[in-house]
Structure 1
Amino acid sequence: MITILDGGMGRELERSGAPFRQPEWSALALMEAPDTVRAAHARFVEAGAKVITTNSYALVPYHIGQERFDSSAERLADLAGRLAREAADAGEGVRVAGSLPPVFGSYRPDLFRAAEAPALFAPLVKGLAPHVDLWLAETQSSLEEAEAAATAVKGTDKPLWLSFTLRDGDEATDQPCLRSGQTVEEAARLVARVGAAAMLFNCSMPEVMQGALDAARSVLGEGFPLGVYANAFISQDEDGDANEVVSDIRADLTTRAYCNVAASWAANGATILGGCCGIGTEHIHAMAHSLNK
């Protein structure tokens, strides 16, 4: 049985006409029009998602500023959790994943500062914890980022899914790597060491995901839950900071095309599938209705 995730929240908000721009990204709708966030979650539930992710990815100083983070991060995380919970409870058997982002910026393992990370995670974890069923530390670019997220949720008694973003451009090699250059095998050993309940790959091109799944399985074994939720961008390897621009969406990743590649991941052992930036409700609907037939 395949667990269907939701798709990219930021672009779903943008398409619906919700407030959306950089640097606030998806946090802008949370702050200015929270009903649009609840409605976006509800559309993904209606499309067939059985795990929806809180709109807390952009609740970091990079996006909302240090002053607003210091004063409002916990309150906004609580709101993000409540909105997702309300949408999930209106469905049937839907779980809520608490999004824990890379707290110093997406695709930037070079900016990670271990000593400062706990203070950035703490208000997010505290605000989200009452509302979520599991933690999803996503778009992790390095082992250090992922371990900090795992440490932040210790003691919450909720499962942790660790999701990594991969090199997907000219710098990609035959050996799948995180954007830090660390290997997927190293990341899989970290997943095992911290006791994560699943390992996923997200916010990278679909073309690099199967190699990462194979590498993870070689370490974790056939029975360990693996997942993918790719983005609809061209390679971001050369862009440096994924937070700087609103990237264009690939025209070739139609609903049918994405559903077909997701089916290939499922055929090769992935059991958790969804979409990241640019993958919308129509993609999730198609996956939900085809992959679990």
Structure 2
Amino acid sequence: MVTTSLTGKATKASSVGTSSNVIILDGGLGRELEKVGAPFRQPEWSALSLIEAPDLVAQVHQNFVDAGAKIITTNTYALVPFHIGQKQFDEQAFSLAERAATIASNMAKKRDVSVAGCIPPAFGSYKPELFCAEKLAAILRPLIEAQTPYIDFWLVETVSSVEEAIAVTSLIKKHSSKPIWLSYSLSNRHDFSNPVTLRSSEPLNAILPTLENLDAVLFNCSQPEEMEAAITFTHSHNADIPIGVYANSFSEHVRKHDANEMLSTLREDVTPEKYLAYAQTWVNAGASIVGGCCGIGPAHIKVLAQGFVNTLE
């Protein structure tokens, strides 16, 4: 278990460009579940396998651990009304979140890795305009309470706005004392001379005050090309907080549909070797936590684990 990174601040690479202390996360659970034959469709996404085939959820966790991941993430990303509907959420959210956390915890005990408790976007990915602070607790509190006994720290995923980051962090702190890693999602720039922004179009300097309440800040579920600029900016303004990255391999620049509407196509050019090359630029820019999001599978994680020497066991 990477306990040195979870009892307080995550261990930071000693200097920019140093890779000996890079922590390897797992990859995207949803597409790997689909790959191993789990039931998989929209709108339920990865929640369907948790409901109908929990043994395959365990298999996917094992696949990522076998590949070299030191942290596995609970399969709770789609356990919100946006994906499973209000009725099923009201009846089963707590029990399903507890099931997901138990599966991950059992795997972690067998393989001596750590568990990140996933806190998903409560109102759908890439949907900052749907965020409603007044409704947040009703959705996320069951997920927090169900997972707390089984996880090592929280991973708040695909945060699209500063308002969302502040509200979710505050809610977690009311119900848990465990460390919080929070991951922002970035807009996709067609013109890379433009500054990188959040999905809400807020500039990155808007996130700086939120870092004071986090144990690590990450960037996820965005194109690999977006990440280096975000790391460089964040590291230049706060060299103490650990920075992480886990990009997706969606063909976002050609995607015509909204997120969550249907399965997005994946980029063929984001091979494991290419992903490692991206990751090396991220570490050089100041990242010390690297993994994968949608479309990044065990083959990618294996190459990352082989490419970066882990000394945190």
Q: Deviations over 1:222-267 (max 9, x none)?
A: x320010000012269656311110011000011100111112112
TM-align CA RMSD:
1.5
The one-letter code of the counterpart of 2:264 is S
Show the 5 A alignment for 1:185-264: 185-192=205-212, 195-221=213-239, 223-235=240-252, 239=256, 241-264=258-281
Aligned 1:95-110 pairs, distance under 5 A: 95-110=114-129
Q: Structure 1: which 5+ residue stretches go unaligned?
A: none
Residues 219 and 239 of structure 1: is their aligned pair in 2 closer, same or farther, counting only changes over 3 Å? Answer: farther
- Looking at structure 1, the residues matched to 241 and 131 of structure 2 have their Cα atoms a distance apart, in angstroms, of 28
- In the alignment, the residues of structure 2 paired with residue 164 and residue 64 of structure 1 have an alpha-carbon distance, to the nearest angstrom, of 23
Q: What is the correspondence of 1:80-159 to structure 2 with a 5 Å cutoff?
A: 80-92=100-112, 94-155=113-174, 156-159=176-179
Cα deviations across residues 137-182 of structure 1 (Å, max 9, x unaligned)?
Answer: 0100001111121022114110000101001133776321101011
Q: CA deviation at 1:129?
A: 0.7
**Distance of 2:28 and 2:208 partners within structure 1:** 24
- Is the partner of 1:161 in helix, strand or coil? strand
Aligned to 1:38: 58
Give the drift of 1:124.
0.5
Structure 1 SS opposite 2:218: strand
Aligned length: 289
* 2:255–2:264 Cα contact (<8 Å) kept: no
Q: Secondary structure at the match of 1:245?
A: coil
Percent of pairs with identical residues: 47
Contact 1:105–1:241 (Cα < 8 Å) also in 2: no
1:202-239 CA distance string (max 9 Å, x none): 00000010000111112212x32001000001226965
> SS at the partner of 2:217?
strand
Instruction: Kindly state the Cα deviation for residue 40 of structure 1 after the two structures are TM-superposed.
Output: 0.4
Q: In structure 1, the residue corresponding to 2:133 is in which secondary structure?
A: coil
Contact 1:125-1:152 at 8 Å conserved across structures = no
Letter in 1 for 2:232: D
Say if 1:201 and 1:227, in contact at 8 Å, map to a contact too: yes
Q: In the alignment, is the contact (CA less than 8 A) between 2:235 and 2:285 conserved in 1? A: no
- In structure 1, distance between residues paired with 2:25 and 2:146: 22
Bigger mean CA deviation after superposition, 24-33 or 147-156:
147-156
Which SS does the other structure have where 2:149 is aligned?
coil
* Larger RCO (CA within 8 A; separation ≥ 6): 2
Out of 161, 178, 182, the position equivalent to 2:181 is 161
Residue 226 of structure 1 aligns to which amino acid in structure 2? Answer: I
The residue matched to 1:130 in structure 2 has which SS? helix
TM-score norm. by structure 1 comes to: 0.95
- Indicate yes or no: 2:77 matched with 1:77: no
